[in-house]
Structure 1
Amino acid sequence: MPQSQSPPARGRILDAAVTYVSEHPGEDMPLRAVCSAAGVQLPTLYHYFGSKRGLLDEVEKIGFQRFMAAKRQVQTSGNFLTDMQRGWDRHIEFAMENPGLYLLMYGQLQPGSINAGRREPEEYTLGQCRKAGQEGILVVSPELAAAHIMCTCIGAALRFIVYGEVDAVLSREILDATLDTVTGSDHRAESPRVTTAARELLLALAEEDVDLAGPELNLLQHWLQRM
């Protein structure tokens, strides 16, 4: 019987590197440990990836691919606030579920290291902000809104990784403050109870099924958002 062939060396090296980064968040990745796990010698690793940085760049690409796959699984509602809340929560969840990859993606950076993988989440958020801008929801440019959202979410995620747990109250307050900034909402208005009730109902609508047709639900969400 013919013997089964082992996976190509490049794939084994990359799999071993992803596993090491995932299992040792924030730690330096020894190439010899990766080679040992992949069953190759150092020259083979250098042949395929050129350097340690080249290998880490490929691991980072996998991290962003998984991150975007998780983002695209989030069900969108067409309501900007609801979709930002869902996207924010999934972003934080991914970071906590994959601290090693996330720290490589957003915590171990080189100046000017903007690449296609790192731009994709930015472009995804920017697309949502452009739609919100067309609907008159934003008081800043879509580009600035997307930058606000990404910067604060990344900062929050890194903090939660460092502390080893998510502070749900802090997470929501950071998100609320960011959305207030980009939408011009004023939660210090004279009727705080109305504002709070509107926000709580918006969150409930995002998490529960309601017996409303699509246009009716969108209209309700629109007016709650205005409140």
Structure 2
Amino acid sequence: MDDAKIRTRRQILEVAADILEREGAQAVSTRSVAAAAGIRAASLYQFFGDKDGLLSALAIHGFDMYLAEKRGLAHSGDPVDAMRRGWDMHVDFGLRHPAFYLLMFGTDRAGRRAPAADEAGDLLLKYLDRVAAAGRLRVPPALAARLCLAAVTGVTLTLVGAPAEDRDPEISARMRDALIDSLTTGPPTDPPPATDTGLAPRALALDAALTAADQATLPLRPTETALLRDWLDRLAR
């Protein structure tokens, strides 16, 4: 795609994003966007195909905005604290960009995954791998990611759908703390709870270390590594 076409596509997306933020997804049509961008509808079809294609591109644009804010979070030496700050940033993004959030994380029919679900899940998994590597995760990272994403999107969609005066920040804070406390342990210097044998966090930490290691340098054959990871998965449950 040459520079002129790239600029035109970017212009169309910016115009569509402005309409989306001001009036919602129902106001985004090929006709309204083409008129606001000062182009023919045929030109818009060349880039996006139809309205669904345009909305899909807007969902990707929204996720790019989301990622930019995620990258802007200050690094923390505490991976569990990073989970809490990531949760707060997610909810805040949804409340500041409700139309984008509904487009990214909502769905119009049962069985259809939200456009941003896979990307957000992969991003969250990277955070949780750090928690597991620190020996502070009680459940496998993939399960923790699904639980966190379900909880934070549920809370955010609930707050987005409520009148501004009824949005109690305590709802998000309580859900965040309850979930994260149930998924993680305290810092390594803290004594483990009486009901926690300590095996699950250690198993998950070793599994995370195996994932990060150079497989060629492991003193195990592939079948032995697979068996060890199966045992670690059992210990983590």
TM-score (norm 2): 0.69
- Equivalent residue runs for 1:1-227 within 5 Å: 8-108=7-107, 111-113=111-113, 118-165=117-164, 166-183=167-184, 223=189
Conservation of the 8 A alpha-carbon contact between 1:9 and 1:40: no
Counterparts in 2 of 1:33 and 1:47: CA distance versus 1, 3 Å: same
Counterparts in 2 of 1:147 and 1:223: CA distance versus 1, 3 Å: same
Task: Using the TM superposition, give the Cα deviation of residue 222 of structure 1 relative to its aligned residue in structure 2, in angstroms.
Answer: 5.0
Q: Which runs of 5+ in 2 are unaligned?
A: 194-237
What's the C-alpha RMSD, in Å, of the aligned pairs? 2.6
C-alpha distance in 1 between matches for 2:189 and 2:73: 23
C-alpha distance in 1 between matches for 2:192 and 2:77: 15
C-alpha distance in 1 between matches for 2:27 and 2:74: 36
Conservation of the 8 A alpha-carbon contact between 1:122 and 1:146: yes
Task: Using the TM superposition, give the Cα deviation of residue 128 of structure 1 relative to its aligned residue in structure 2, in angstroms.
Answer: 1.6
C-alpha distance in 2 between matches for 1:10 and 1:45: 8
Conservation of the 8 A alpha-carbon contact between 1:26 and 1:104: yes
C-alpha distance in 2 between matches for 1:158 and 1:21: 17
C-alpha distance in 1 between matches for 2:49 and 2:7: 17
C-alpha distance in 1 between matches for 2:71 and 2:134: 22
Conservation of the 8 A alpha-carbon contact between 2:107 and 2:114: no
Number of residues paired by the alignment?
186
Percent identity between the aligned chains?
Answer: 29
TM-score (norm 1): 0.72
Counterparts in 2 of 1:22 and 1:114: CA distance versus 1, 3 Å: closer
Cα shift readout 1:85-143 (whole Å, capped 9, x = no counterpart): 1111111111111111111101145645576x643322221112112122221221011
